[in-house]
Protein backbone atom coordinates (compact mmCIF):
# COMPACT_ATOMS: atom_id res chain seq x y z
CA UNK A 1 0.00 0.00 0.00
CA UNK A 2 1.34 3.40 -0.97
CA UNK A 3 1.68 6.04 1.70
CA UNK A 4 2.02 8.79 -0.86
CA UNK A 5 0.49 8.91 -4.33
CA UNK A 6 2.26 11.04 -6.87
CA UNK A 7 0.55 12.37 -9.98
CA UNK A 8 2.05 9.62 -12.13
CA UNK A 9 0.64 6.89 -9.88
CA UNK A 10 -2.77 8.55 -9.87
CA UNK A 11 -2.71 8.81 -13.66
CA UNK A 12 -1.91 5.11 -13.98
CA UNK A 13 -4.77 4.19 -11.66
CA UNK A 14 -7.16 6.42 -13.60
CA UNK A 15 -6.07 4.95 -16.93
CA UNK A 16 -6.50 1.41 -15.64
CA UNK A 17 -9.95 2.18 -14.26
CA UNK A 18 -11.03 3.89 -17.49
CA UNK A 19 -9.82 0.91 -19.51
CA UNK A 20 -11.68 -1.47 -17.18
CA UNK A 21 -14.96 0.43 -17.48
CA UNK A 22 -14.58 0.89 -21.25
CA UNK A 23 -13.93 -2.85 -21.78
CA UNK A 24 -16.60 -4.16 -19.44
CA UNK A 25 -19.42 -1.63 -19.22
CA UNK A 26 -21.89 0.05 -21.50
CA UNK A 27 -22.55 3.70 -20.75
CA UNK A 28 -25.29 4.49 -18.23
CA UNK A 29 -27.74 5.60 -20.91
CA UNK A 30 -27.15 2.40 -22.89
CA UNK A 31 -28.33 0.17 -20.03
CA UNK A 32 -31.34 -1.75 -21.26
CA UNK A 33 -32.82 -2.72 -17.90
CA UNK A 34 -32.45 -2.03 -14.20
CA UNK A 35 -30.67 -5.34 -13.57
CA UNK A 36 -27.90 -4.39 -15.98
CA UNK A 37 -27.46 -1.00 -14.31
CA UNK A 38 -27.47 -2.65 -10.87
CA UNK A 39 -24.80 -5.10 -12.02
CA UNK A 40 -22.59 -2.23 -13.20
CA UNK A 41 -23.08 -0.40 -9.89
CA UNK A 42 -22.04 -3.50 -7.97
CA UNK A 43 -19.01 -4.14 -10.16
CA UNK A 44 -17.87 -0.53 -10.04
CA UNK A 45 -18.34 -0.35 -6.27
CA UNK A 46 -16.23 -3.50 -5.91
CA UNK A 47 -13.50 -1.92 -8.05
CA UNK A 48 -13.67 1.29 -5.99
CA UNK A 49 -13.36 -0.73 -2.79
CA UNK A 50 -10.29 -2.53 -4.19
CA UNK A 51 -8.66 0.79 -5.10
CA UNK A 52 -9.41 2.23 -1.67
CA UNK A 53 -7.91 -0.80 0.06
CA UNK A 54 -4.88 -1.13 -2.19
CA UNK A 55 -3.96 2.47 -2.93
CA UNK A 56 -6.13 4.63 -0.67
CA UNK A 57 -7.04 6.55 -3.82
CA UNK A 58 -10.06 6.54 -6.10
CA UNK A 59 -10.57 9.02 -8.95
CA UNK A 60 -13.52 11.28 -8.17
CA UNK A 61 -15.11 10.54 -11.54
CA UNK A 62 -15.57 6.91 -10.44
CA UNK A 63 -18.04 8.02 -7.78
CA UNK A 64 -19.82 10.21 -10.32
CA UNK A 65 -20.08 7.22 -12.67
CA UNK A 66 -21.66 5.14 -9.91
CA UNK A 67 -24.19 7.92 -9.37
CA UNK A 68 -25.00 7.96 -13.11
CA UNK A 69 -25.62 4.20 -13.15
CA UNK A 70 -27.76 4.51 -10.01
CA UNK A 71 -29.81 7.29 -11.60
CA UNK A 72 -30.28 5.17 -14.73
CA UNK A 73 -31.31 2.20 -12.59
CA UNK A 74 -33.91 4.31 -10.78
CA UNK A 75 -35.25 5.67 -14.07
CA UNK A 76 -35.57 2.17 -15.51
CA UNK A 77 -37.31 0.91 -12.37
CA UNK A 78 -39.72 3.86 -12.59
CA UNK A 79 -40.55 3.00 -16.20
CA UNK A 80 -41.10 -0.65 -15.24
CA UNK A 81 -43.36 0.27 -12.35
CA UNK A 82 -45.25 2.86 -14.36
CA UNK A 83 -45.94 0.23 -17.02
CA UNK A 84 -47.21 -2.18 -14.38
CA UNK A 85 -49.91 0.13 -13.07
The pLDDT of residue 2 is: 47
Which are the contacts of 62, defined by CB distance < 8 A and separation ≥ 6?
17, 44, 47, 48, 51
Which tens digit of pLDDT belongs to each residue from 49-78?
A: 999 999 999 999 999 999 999 999 999 999
Q: Is residue 18 part of a domain?
A: no
Task: For residue 66, count other CB atoms closer than 10 A to its CB.
Answer: 18
Q: Is residue 79 part of a domain?
A: yes
pTM given for the model: 0.87
- Rounded to an integer, the average pLDDT of 16-35 is 96
Q: Is residue 13 part of a domain?
A: no
- Quote the number of domains for the chain: 1
Reported residue count of the chain is 85
- CA torsion through residues 43, 47, 48, 52, sign: positive
CA distance 68 to 24: 16
The pLDDT of residue 3 is: 56
Residue 42's domain comprises 27-84
Amino acid sequence: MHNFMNDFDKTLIEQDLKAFTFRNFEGPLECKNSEQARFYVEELCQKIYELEQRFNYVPSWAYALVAQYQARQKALIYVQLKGTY
